[in-house]
Amino acid sequence: MDERMKHRTATIAAYLLFFAVIFALPFFLNSFWTNRVATYLVYSICAVGISLSWGYAGILSLGQGLFFGIGAYMLAMSLTLAVPENNPVPELMLLNMQPDAVRDLCCVTPGSFLWIPFRSVAFGMIAAIVVPCVLAAGLGYVMFKRRTTGVYVSIITLAFALIGQLLIINNQPLTGGFNGLANLAWLEIGGFEFDPYGPSIYYLVAGTLLAVVLVSRAMLSARIGQVLKAVREDEARARYLGYDVENYKLFIFCFSAGIAGLAGMLFTLTAEFASPSLMATSFSISMVIWAATGGRASLLGACIGALLVNFVGSVASESPAFQPVWPIVLGGLFVFVVLVMPNGIAGIVKDLIGRSGKARAVGQEVYP
Amino acid sequence: MNAVANVSRPAAVPMAAMPILQAKKLTVRFDGFPAVRDVDLAIADGELRVIIGANGAGKSTLLDLLCGKILPSEGEIWLRERNITGIGEAAIARSGLGRKFQTPTVFKEMTVLENLQVASNRRVRVFENLFDWLPSRPSDKEAAVAERTGLLGAINRRASELSHGQLQWLELAMVLSQDPKIVLLDEPAAGMTAAETDKTAELLLDLAGSHTVLVIEHDMAFVRLICRTITVMHQGAVLAEGTAAEIEHNPAVIEAYLGSAGLSHA
Amino acid sequence: METFVIGLSIASILFMVALGLAIIYGTMKVINLAHGEMVMIGAYVTVLATKHLGFNLYLCLPLAFLVTAGFGLVIERTVVRRLYGRLLDTLLATWGIALILQQLIRIHFGLGLFGIHIDGLGSDLQNVPVPGELQQTLHFLGANIPVYRAFIFVVALLLGAVTWWLIYRTRFGSQLRAVSVARNTAAACGVNDKRVNMLAFAYGSGLAGIAGVLVSGFKTVSPDMGTPYVVDAFLVVVAGGVGHLAGTFLSAGILGEVQSFVAMWLNDVYGRTVLFAVVILILLFKPQGLFVSRSR
Amino acid sequence: MQNRRTFIKASGLAAMGLAAPAILRLDGRAWAADEIPVGIMYSLTGTTAIVEKSMNQCAQMAIAEINAKGGVLGKQLKPIIEDPASEPRIYSEKARKLAIEDQVPVIFGCYTTASRKAVLPVVERRKGLLVWPTWYEGEECSKNVLYAGSAVPNQQLENSLPWLKKNLGKSKLFIVGSDYAFPRGMAKTSKTICQGIGMEVVGDEYLPLGHTEWASMVSKIGSSGADVIFSNVVGDSIVAFYRELRNQGYDFEKLPLCSSTTTEVEIKAMGPEYAQGSYVSLPYFQTVDTPQNKVFVEAFKAYAGTDAVTHAAMEAVYIGVNMWAMAAEKAGDVSPEAVVANAGGLSFDAPQGKVTIDPENLHSYLTPRIGKTRADGLLDIVDQYPEPLLPLPYSSVGETAEKRICTAGGAVL
């Protein structure tokens, strides 16, 4: 029994250490680095979502950028309306409206009534999480009821995200098109204004990350975590034990979409803009890269992966020595991780802690 | 209800109780080739039925049909008065049909205890398991079924470290902990030592009272140990049904299996 | 009629790029995100050959095939070989390779998107002089068909036939199919699966190189021109049925036509949107691809 | 064996970790007393890298020239170069680094409108200053952006559309563009101008950015009965568009094309023979014969290589850097508020001629020109305004010289 106990205490210690460092950082960083690390933490939340659906349920979604982007847009719409001169109608609609249109949200351009509920910031924040979940539920229901698995899921989600991006760019009078939404007010809750460069946003993001990780850990150590592991290993066997495997996959798919939406919302707070480029394929792929670098089946690994990759990417592109070659540094990091650390950074951390027992078949995951 | 009454069976087998599991005119074709043709089957509650037949006789396909893995081209499957044709594997499993596969399919990366916990959990919906805390020690039920299949000692060992025989028993234990009404077993004794085979036979006989068991088997020695009624399948259809003695003297069976290893060394 | 021809030309380009991917992914289950970069390398080979060696477009085809096949060989030997069976790790590794290749090209050639070249080799480097006879337009059945598009279509057909012959009519082809279906059993029967994989990866990359040559005829050559092609090629391969050559060919045709007709009817933006929607529907309702019969 | 491999892996990871702080310099950068840090933020990688790389070099050249003449207020300018990689997300991040960590008083950066919108919140919130060079769709009136050298729709259309009608006798216009803010803004302004001069707009179509499949659009143009095309297509699509026109048998004598975006860079990329005979409406071409332009072209060729070409976006960067320096000298202070306050009314003898900053909307009076592409890839100037034209950023929603929307106090919609 002691081997399992040793493993559990080591994991808890790793989590405590990680979050201790994260919460202590703002005291050592200037306001720019506080904001930058806050953005990295937003990416970590995304990586946790991917690690959950991919690492624990075997669902690799290459369209997570869509849910992230929608989360960002929902809050951005609320924050746009919160800016005084955007009332009653946001500037982007004034510029694109027909000369004789009524200057009211209901009918200035076709579809502008959709903006009305976003007058309340609370609605924007809730929608940032609920809308991605609803979209994921719709797509997930059709996909999993048809028992789509493996690379088909990845390609369908990829195509779905591309459709989302195209539609947003194409409806400029409604969404601001390719430029997205800038000119946003700061989030204000109960009189307290969140300054993107101050520690307030940093702790909001760090706290959310902690909450997301804790809820996910609790879920994974509860029965559902066990069922998910079973589903990932042998879907048919789980089915013959009476489990509706599709519902479990759907739940995780929606849960990680909600996490992506939440991360998107926090991105809007730290970067103060939302643009369709968040839904691009390259961004969705980089999310998968962060989770993979960190070690797919570990939430902490995903966080570390996201922080490390973004940190190396930023620092390499800024230091004069690496500037002309920073994509090579990044590309080299990915190849290094896959060849030398098959289980990602988490694999290394586990090796260092010295888990007893034969090293798990290194990286041999049988993919359906 | 009238569908149940007019079922016709080739051999007159004393019908003790209302059949718990019934297949009517069950047929399935793969690109035209009828793997199973017009099979009528009625299993009584608590009966231990064995299905024998040469390779390719359609035994495994029949089992796949019963547990919902494959949808029949024609015909129906009834569980007591409920038509369970095509309601999906999970629903069939939940209505009381446990299936053990030929090659032991268990969750190898998980421990024996975890395997049993997944199997014995009857509240299968997502939200029921969301924050339901996982005990680290087996419940009485799990301990009992582990003890019954001789796995109590290895309860915390990873499934991938078990021997072949132990894996078969683990899968059997998992099926049992689903507390199924009917247990479908696909060659449970395959690849086992003589001692293990005897223990399995003993286990199945012990089961017969409380559960209905349907076994597919080749090894006539093992069949002889455990069964009362045998159904012989040949090229997708039911050739004959009856006790071991009747089967061996049935001319159609002998002709179909002249010299085949399956029956001759009975 | 005109739209049909346009659809055909879109289809032939899609098919060209997807063919190489069909080999690599279809038979070896390796997600190669650097496949787009092979198209880019093929295009740069054309640029260099026409500029320094005075090759015309036709000669560039075999040259580009050899160069990109060489690149494919190197990538397979150094990285991909260690990752068989780990499908998703190849995704990560090949994405890293793609980044490295893009930046190497960018440094060596300087920025080549619009042909303006700040450092490194000559300036009007990055466009390819298309041979005279390919620039005319044919008048055929009332539609004027650009000869260059027809040329692409012919090369696509030719390549499809050669690949089909290679896969289904040669020993190497049978070994390839054996390895793709059951690697271990094939190896057990004496098939040197390492060599087969290496050659298949090289051949797939070579096909992408040829696609690069043809694409450089109507598009500028830039370090990151390759990425969009990976997405489109993947859609075509998976929709057509993995590892099923005829499937890839027909699905490229259908997707090309869909995009062309919708673009003519609505606008190009909806053309792309409907294209993606069609792929989603195909994958949902015919996961094995359009042309694979339902197997047991 | 197992633990040795782990040790190697662990040390690799640790080494990467240790190297980081050295690069990071957490405490921000300390500047020598006689140096002014200025930010240069043009993409060196990614899709728009090619045009922006030349802008990066032009900015560095301009700063080197100013430093050679003694710098600004006696202090040398210290350029800090960042690579935003053509991603709005990274533009925003790098702008924050320049504004907060390096505390630069000015950022010379951004090319597309999308990148500017991502940087806008940073400069406006931190009271910084962005000097933005590119011609764009207007509809913006920020007090933290100096639109030095950046033309607005009326400065590209008020000259070209009437010229096409009067000189070439064309009256059926087909507007085509990439699907984003600039082409849509240009289309709106074009429609209002066409109504004024009795020109019929027979088509207004868009296709996704970077889309290179032009066959359907070109045949749609052919069947629309248009006798002249106005193209607001950007990026890689331009090359595919011109080549497809040639492939489908159109030539610019029968069906003239005027573009707002095909500079010398794009012409060289597609091969001059494809663009020969097409028109471009921009304030600057390499062939502008002013003394300053001769010096500018020679200097840039010396700096970036003999076969480099100069183009409108790069010239605008040159204007921006110089006018910022002039405003700072005049104000005696490099702070953004001082520069903005003193920029209004300043004039600079730019390569394209005299350029003046309008005090109301911080845009620039520019001289609209129309060029016709020659065989060698440069453009002959076929039409030129006698003096610089007033910039009207909100012409798409009816701003006129008399009824100004963008004023010193902000936009009044």
B107/A227 CB distance under 8 A: no
Q: Residues 1..60 of B with a Cβ closer than 8 Å to A: which?
A: none
Reported as a pLDDT band with limits 50, 70 and 90, residue B13 is very low
Structure tokens belonging to residue D137: 């769709």
State mean pLDDT over D325-354.
Answer: 90
Residue D19: the pLDDT is 42
DSSP state of C25: I
Distance CA D55, CA D43 (A): 9
Note whether B110 contacts A: Cβ–Cβ < 8 A.
yes
> Is the model's pLDDT at A50 over the cut of 70?
yes
> Is the model's pLDDT at C124 over the cut of 70?
no
CA nearest neighbour of C44 among C125, C135, C132, C111: C125
Distance CA A214, CA C286 (A): 39
Residue D326: the pLDDT is 92
- Identify which of D83, D101, D117 has the shortest CB distance to residue A273: D117
A317/D83 CB distance under 8 A: yes
**pLDDT tens digit string along B101-128?**
888 888 888 888 888 888 888 887 888 8
Can you tell me the ipTM of this complex? 0.81
Distance CA B200, CA B198 (A): 5
State mean pLDDT over B220-238.
Answer: 79
State mean pLDDT over A142-166.
Answer: 87
B134/A247 CB distance under 8 A: no
Reported as a pLDDT band with limits 50, 70 and 90, residue A73 is very high
| Lowest mean pLDDT across B211-215, C103-107, D67-71, D404-408 | C103-107
> What is the percent of chain C with per-residue pLDDT over 90, rounded to a whole number?
4
DSSP state of A360: P
Among all residues of chain A, which has the CA nearest to that of D397? A95
DSSP state of B236: T
State mean pLDDT over B43-47.
Answer: 83
C269/D206 CB distance under 8 A: yes
CB C175 within 8 A of CB C185: no
CA distance B133 to chain A (A): 5
State mean pLDDT over A127-143.
Answer: 93
CA nearest neighbour of A91 among D141, D145, D115: D141
Collect all residues of chain B within an 8 Å Cβ-Cβ radius of residue A248. 126
Residue B222: the pLDDT is 78
Residue D41: the pLDDT is 94
**pLDDT tens digit string along C176-204?**
888 777 777 877 887 777 888 888 889 98
A282/C227 CB distance under 8 A: yes
Distance CA C264, CA C262 (A): 5
Q: What is the mean pLDDT of chain D?
A: 85
Residue D202: the pLDDT is 92
Note whether C93 contacts A: Cβ–Cβ < 8 A.
yes
Among all residues of chain A, which has the CA nearest to that of B68? A240
Q: What's the distance, CA D395 to chain centroid?
A: 19
State mean pLDDT over D108-122.
Answer: 89
Residue A303: the pLDDT is 92
> Is the model's pLDDT at A346 over the cut of 90?
no
Q: Which domains does chain D have, with CATH numbers?
A: 35-151+288-362 (3.40.50.2300), 154-282 (3.40.50.2300)
> Is the model's pLDDT at C141 over the cut of 70?
no
Bridge partners for A200 per DSSP: none
Indicate if the alpha-carbon torsion angle B24, B25, B28, B34 is positive or negative: positive
C283/A156 CB distance under 8 A: yes
Residue B46 carries which side chain, given as an amino acid letter? G
- Range with the largest mean pLDDT of A341-350, C146-155, D119-128: D119-128
Please, what's the b/e burial string for A98-118 (b: 16 or more CB within 10 A of its CB; e: otherwise)? Answer: eeebeeebeebbeebeebeeb
CA nearest neighbour of B145 among B110, B107, B171: B171
Reported as a pLDDT band with limits 50, 70 and 90, residue B11 is very low
Q: Where along chain A do its domains lie? A: 34-280
CB D311 within 8 A of CB C114: no
> Is the model's pLDDT at B264 over the cut of 50?
no
A227/B109 CB distance under 8 A: no
**pLDDT tens digit string along C3-35?**
787 788 788 888 888 888 888 887 777 778 888
Q: Which domains does chain B have, with CATH numbers?
A: 17-96+182-266 (3.40.50.300), 105-179 (no CATH)
CB D89 within 8 A of CB D118: yes
C93/A338 CB distance under 8 A: yes
| Lowest mean pLDDT across C35-39, C135-139, D124-128 | C135-139
CB D160 within 8 A of CB D391: no
Reported as a pLDDT band with limits 50, 70 and 90, residue B265 is very low
DSSP state of C154: H
CA nearest neighbour of A64 among A232, A299, A286: A286
Residue A257: the pLDDT is 95
Question: Which residues have CB under 8 Å from C40's CB, separation 6+?
Answer: C101, C102, C105, C212, C221, C222, C223, C224, C225, C226
**How many CB pairs lie under 8 A apart between chains C and D?**
131
**Tokens 């689903």, residue located:** B178
> Is the model's pLDDT at A265 over the cut of 80?
yes
Question: Which residues have CB under 8 Å from D403's CB, separation 6+?
Answer: none
Distance CA D413, CA D405 (A): 7
**pLDDT tens digit string along D291-313?**
999 999 999 999 888 878 888 98
Residue D59: the pLDDT is 94
φ, ψ (nearest 5 deg) of residue D120: -50, -50
Residue A139: the pLDDT is 92
Residue length of chain B: 266
CA dihedral B153, B155, B157, B158 (to 10 degrees): 140
Q: What is the mean pLDDT of chain C?
A: 78
Collect all residues of chain D within an 8 Å Cβ-Cβ radius of residue A29. 26
Its pTM stands at 0.84
Distance CA A261, CA B89 (A): 34
| Lowest mean pLDDT across B135-144, B154-163, D10-19, D361-370 | D10-19
> DSSP secondary structure string, D30-75?
---TTEEEEEEE--SSSTTHHHHHHHHHHHHHHHHHHHHTT-BTTB
Residue C137: the pLDDT is 63
φ, ψ (nearest 5 deg) of residue D219: -70, -30
| Lowest mean pLDDT across A201-205, B131-135, D392-396 | B131-135
Distance CA A92, CA A79 (A): 14
CB B17 within 8 A of CB B219: no
Structure tokens belonging to residue A285: 């792929």
φ, ψ (nearest 5 deg) of residue A330: -65, -50
Residue B12: the pLDDT is 41
Indicate if the alpha-carbon torsion angle D43, D44, D49, D51 is positive or negative: positive
Residue D58: the pLDDT is 93
> Is the model's pLDDT at C140 over the cut of 70?
no
- Identify which of D213, D219, D249 has the shortest CB distance to residue C10: D213
> Is the model's pLDDT at B4 over the cut of 60?
no
